[in-house]
Each structure stands twice: as C-alpha cells, then as structure tokens.
Amino acid sequence: MAIGKRSSLLAVLALALILAAIFTHTTSATAGNERICSDETISSGTFSKVIVGAGTSCTLEGSVVVEGDVLADGAIDVTISGIRVEGNIEIKNSSGTLLFIIGSDILGNLKLNHNTVNPGPGDLAIIGNTIGGNVETKRNSVADTIFIGACPTRGNVIGGNVTMENNTVDDIQLACNDIDGNVAIKANTASTDVRSPGNSVGGNYTITNNSSTRRFVVGSFIAVRGAELPANTIQGNLVVKGNTNTLASVIVGSDPGLDDGNTVSGNLTIKNNSAADEVFVKANAVDGNLKCTGNDPGPTLAGNTVGGKLDCAD
C-alpha cells in the first residue's frame, strides 16, 4: 500500500475513534443522569429520570426537564409544578397529605394509583396540565378531593383517556377538561359529591356504579359561591348507570336553577340509578336516542331535545 493511501486510512480511522468516544461519552452521561429526589425541592436541571425516594417528599418545579419518567413508589408528598416531562409520571403507594400535578407539560401517561392522601390538605389534584397520553386514578383513599381540572380556566388538555376507578374520597371533581379520548368514572365512593361540569370529551363518557350523599351531577350546576359551572360536550355516547345518591338527587344535564344541559352527539342512556330525591334529566341536547330504564325513582324530564328516539317511560 502506498504511504499516502495508508496515511489517509489512518486519519479516517482516528476520526472514527474520536467520534465514537464522543458519542459513547454523551450517551453514558445522558443515561446516567438520573436524579433521586428525597425531602427536597428541585427547581432546575435536565434529568434522564427522576425517582422519588420511598418515605420521602419531593417537589419538582420551575425549569426542570425530565427526558424520561418520574417515578414514586412509597413516597410521602409529591408536588410537580410547571415542569416538562417527556416520559410518564407514575405515583403509587404514597402516604402523605397531598399529591399535586399542576401546570406541567407531560408527553406520556399520568398514573396515580393505590395512594393514601391524609387530611391537611388531603387533596389529589391534577390541574392545568397538558398531557399527551392517558390519566388514571385508581384505588386511592383521599381525605378530601380528587380534582381532575377546575373551572373555568384550570382544566387539563388530555390526549388520551381518563379513568377514575375504585377511589374512596370525600368528593370527586372532573371539571372543564379537554379530553380527546374516553372517560370512565367507575365504582367510586364519595362521602359528599360527584361533580362533572364543563368537559369536552372526544369519545364516550361512562359514569357507573358510583355513590354520593350530597351532589351528584353530570352537567351544569351552581357552585357554593354562586358561580355557574357549564355542562359537558360529548362526541360519543353518555352512559349514567348504577349510581346512587342516598340523600339527594342524581342530576344529568343541569340542576333546577339552570338551563344549560349536556350536548351529546351519540346516545344518552340513564339506567339503574337510585336517588333519595329524584333522577333529574334536564336540558340535554341529544343527537341520538335518550333511553331511561330501571331508575328509582323514575326520572323527571325537563327541556331535553332528542334527535332520535325518546324512551324514558320508567
């Protein structure tokens, strides 16, 4: 081989080795940039993953960027405020006084399951976020409220589905969210309220086998301080089935003081609900069918418009 050709080949090999070393160093640095958050507040930094230590509290806020997941198993309090998470957030088996996910940009899924939230304040709050995937709250015991969204301007933008299932709580609120997928609120026990005003749902909305004692409303109502909260817009079907209010009414549409009911592009089915006062169905605009069956007492209807068949004889 000529000396010139050999020199050129050696130069190419040397350059390849240098680039490989730089790439390996960069990849290792990124992969190793995990952060343990333990009884502290982190306000800046870019991390490949954040893990909240068991038995500790963590606040992530400000200019924090997490390129992977935020994971907490057995933590105490977790607050995530105004950060960017490019992966998922999963918080489980915690036992503290608050779980707050507020004003953040989350590209993946958000799961908060099997947590115990004690008084002071006793809230599980998911408010004002943009979430690319699904939102799931299952089997949590919450002293006060599970908030997913707050009216009028603190709802979430959610690209996937919302599931609230088997939670034991003082009250449940799903309010003023923009949800591309389906909503399922199932088998929750609320010692006071189940409230769902002001949501825009791209898929189906099912609210089944829940119980409350004071306010059970899927639609608009007048809040305690006098604010009028809007009804829901649902592109698919709305199913309200097997729910119980032991001390008051089950309301679908709007409460007696308002005329702003749900807009449902599919069918509205109200089945096997029981209430101490009445099953009240008011001011809904339904493109498909409105069907009621097996409710106790039989439903009271007022001001609904139905494009398909109206069958609410029970």
Nearest-angstrom CA–CA distance, 67 and 198: 32
Q: Residue 22's pLDDT is what?
A: 38
Residues 6+ apart with CB under 8 A from 2: none
In this predicted structure, the answer to whether residue 31 has a pLDDT above a threshold of 60 is no
Residue 184 is inside which H or E element, if any?
Answer: strand 183-186
Q: Residue 32's pLDDT is what?
A: 67
In this predicted structure, the answer to whether residue 121 has a pLDDT above a threshold of 50 is yes
The most distant pair of C-alpha atoms in the chain lies apart, rounded to whole Å, by 99
CB 160 within 8 A of CB 180: yes
Residue 76 sits at the vertex; the CA angle it makes with 127 and 74, to the nearest 5 degrees, is 105
Nearest-angstrom CA–CA distance, 183 and 162: 5
The token pair at 265 is 């592009």
Over the stretch 236-287, which tens digit does the pLDDT of each residue have? 999 999 999 999 999 999 999 899 999 999 999 999 999 999 999 999 999 9
Q: What is the mean pLDDT of residues 164-185?
A: 98
CB 180 within 8 A of CB 202: yes
Q: What is the mean pLDDT of residues 7-28?
A: 40
Q: In terms of pTM, does the model score above 0.85?
A: yes
CB 273 within 8 A of CB 248: no
Report which DSSP code applies to 298: P
Q: Residue 224's pLDDT is what?
A: 80
Place 314 in a pLDDT band, splitting at 50, 70 and 90: low
Q: What share of the chain is helix, strand, coil (3-state, %, to 5)?
A: 10, 50, 40
Q: Which residue type does 236 have?
A: G
How far CA 47 is from CA of 19, 36, 70, 90, 162, in Å, comes to 24, 10, 10, 16, 27
Helical residues (DSSP H) of the chain, grouped into ranges: 3-31
Percent of the chain having pLDDT more than 70?
89
Q: How many CB atoms lie within 10 A of CB 290?
A: 25
DSSP 82-100: S-EESS-EEEES-EESEEE
Q: Residue 12's pLDDT is what?
A: 38
The residue ranges of every structural domain in the chain are 34-191
Q: Residue 6's pLDDT is what?
A: 41
CB 189 within 8 A of CB 170: no
Nearest-angstrom CA–CA distance, 25 and 289: 62
CB 207 within 8 A of CB 240: yes
For the chain, count helices (H), then strands (E): 1, 42
How far CA 113 is from CA of 70, 72, 123, in Å, comes to 14, 11, 14
Residues 6+ apart with CB under 8 A from 17: none
CA 249 to chain centre: 25
Please, what is the end-to-end C-alpha distance for the chain in angstroms?
Answer: 96
In this predicted structure, the answer to whether residue 18 has a pLDDT above a threshold of 50 is no
- Average confidence score pLDDT of the chain: 91
The token pair at 172 is 């449940």
